[in-house]
A = this chain, B = another copy of it.
Amino acid sequence: MVTKQYTGSLDDADLTRADSLAREIFSDIANKWALLIIEALGDRTLRFSELRNEIEGVSHKMLTQNLRMLERNGLVERCVHPTVPPRVEYTLTEPGRGLLKTTHYMCDWTHQYLGHIEASRRSFGD
């Protein structure tokens, strides 16, 4: 469980290894660039440079860094074609595709409530 579901007086030491791992993974994917990469990939196979063009505002460094993280966690498969110049293609794995449902939903949600949020910000004092 990613959040505590009990209200006892347990402290950090009582988190099981699985729980802290779950939290670590949750933190990895609950991240702007990771989710945008997953959403951009979808069911397609894209090259590094194509991903960079798809994702507005991502830097070379952030893209590399997050792709390595997603690869490490087995959400993205990296395929290197030994050509000159090199061609590196990225594809979501089955676990990675499992997150598409979430990213699509989050994108839909964002557009659905764009007006609500803009109004709320104004009344909040922006």
Most interface-central of A25, A71, A105, A112 (chain B CB within 10 A): A25
A57, B20: Cα distance in complex, Å: 11
Which B residue's beta carbon lies closest to that of A98?
Answer: B109
Interfacial chain B residues near A114, Cβ < 8 Å: 18, 21-22, 25
* Known contacts A26-B32, A30-B36, A72-B120, then 8 further A-B pairs from the complex at CB < 8 Å, ordered by chain A residue: A3-B56, A18-B114, A26-B107, A30-B106, A72-B126, A74-B120, A74-B124, A99-B106
A interface residue numbers (CB < 8 A to B): 1-4, 7, 12, 15, 18, 21-23, 25-27, 29-32, 35-36, 39-40, 53-57, 71-74, 95, 98-99, 101-102, 105-107, 109-114, 116-121, 124, 126
